[in-house]
Structure 1
Amino acid sequence: MFYRDLYYLSDEYDQQNYGAAINLRKPLGEHAYAEISYTIQNVTIDNIDEEASQAIKDEEGEYLQSKIDLSLVHDTRDSVYITRKGHKISGGALVSGDFLGGDVGVYGLSLEAAQYVSLPMDMIFSVEGAVRTVDTLGGGEDGVPIFERLFLGGANNLRGFDYRDVGPKDENGEPLGGKTSAYATFELSFPIIEKVRGAVFYDVGVVSGDSYDWGGDVNSDVGVGLRLFFLPTGPIRLDFGVPMQADEENDSGGKFNFNLGYRF
């Protein structure tokens, strides 16, 4: 059971999610597993700013979402603490509709992958990326609600940009999210002292307003970072990224990003 007050998503509206979920996982050999989860949640979007665009105001209300998520994963990583070699590949699908008892009719598909290569002098090269798309289920007219749309930007993908700031925006510059996204990150990390590693990286991604559309504006960045391995809760990742390509509505200045925890 959960309650989440997602006040950090936007300065123009508030979002609260509460509900319950159940998850089942089945091993498929030594390195693979299948997973299915069912979630029922109430999503409330309120406290809309008076100066917000009509596109944001149209999202106001309460939604009852009942959804099923399916995934198939192959994971050969040697560790989640400091991953030096191996890969993780995950294909997923979600479906949400009134036939499950909710009033949000959408579906989504995703493919995520990461590869880690151990190099001399304890350097590690990694490549990560994902492609995702969402659409209305059965040609519904209500559209994909903002809480199921796709965003990029922030500590987990495009580190040279603000959180969720890459993708379609309204006339006020507020992120609206898209229906198709793709990104890739390339990183080389190296030891500095015990429990401290440095990193250099390059990120690139795109978010499009339509489903199955890969033609959005390309955004990319380069940067440097530190990896600190002092806490039992997982490594601390400190990154500073500078955009190389940015659409006209994105800030082209550098961004500092902080992240904590294992990357399961």
Structure 2
Amino acid sequence: MEKKFTDTEENSRYDDLEKMSTEALLNNINKEDKTVAESVEKQIPEMEALVDEVASKMKTGGRLFYIGAGTSGRLGVLDASECPPTFGVSDHMVIGLIAGGDIALRNAVENAEDDLEQAWKDLQEYDISENDVLIGIAASGSTPYVIGGIKKAREYGISTGCITCSSNSPLAEVSEFPIEVITGPEFVTGSTRMKAGTAQKMVLNMISTSVMIKLGKIKGNKMVDMQLSNKKLVGRGTRMIMEELNIDEAEAARLLQQYGSVREVIAHYQL
């Protein structure tokens, strides 16, 4: 029988939420959150295939694009924005697009997610090509903005993946590398910023971090290419150099200032 609604719209396992004590609310939300990691774990084989595809494309100069609407779009933009400071890559290497444009990061944009054509128009502004990979993010797996972008990308030979929290969704059907993390009913019925959002954030962390490691952006377990954009990160970089070269803090700080990155310091002094 055809599903009348997505998995993410199923009724909560809890009722009369307004009658619960604060302690009960927090404990029950936490109880539901504990199930998310297990749901994500079941999709590791699917993630592995997508990570390898993204890494392969990026090694030859390709880029990674995320498209989504609402919470899903914001999570994609967040992951993309964290790659440059964490891994020292260009701002144009991982690109997140949200239905409705940047204003939608803070405000709901009416009907933005319902346009089947807009995602492809947005992607064309970045000259997306078959060298790139496009990942659509939609908890329900039914968002027109995302589905339209993925379908059009496939017409042009672009590798596509998706992250959704509903089984057998239209989005998964049109994606080459679908990841379906089935998180089940939300504590507040339909509030996919909760478990579904947590699952999507976890998957995005796993994908982008694994890709960057495969691209050589990590040495050992250290972010040797991170941008030294504040005192905390300069301090972290200094400690990395102290540990790697077995030198004191003052010398490590001097070398970091001289060479401008942890990687450059280590490269010059571990020859």
Larger RCO of the pair (alpha carbons < 8 Å, separation 6+): 2
User: TM exceeds 0.5?
Assistant: no
Please, what TM-score do these two structures have when normalized by structure 2?
A: 0.22
- Larger Rg: 1 or 2? 2
Say which structure is richer in helix.
Answer: 2
Please, what TM-score do these two structures have when normalized by structure 1?
A: 0.23
Say which structure is richer in strand.
Answer: 1
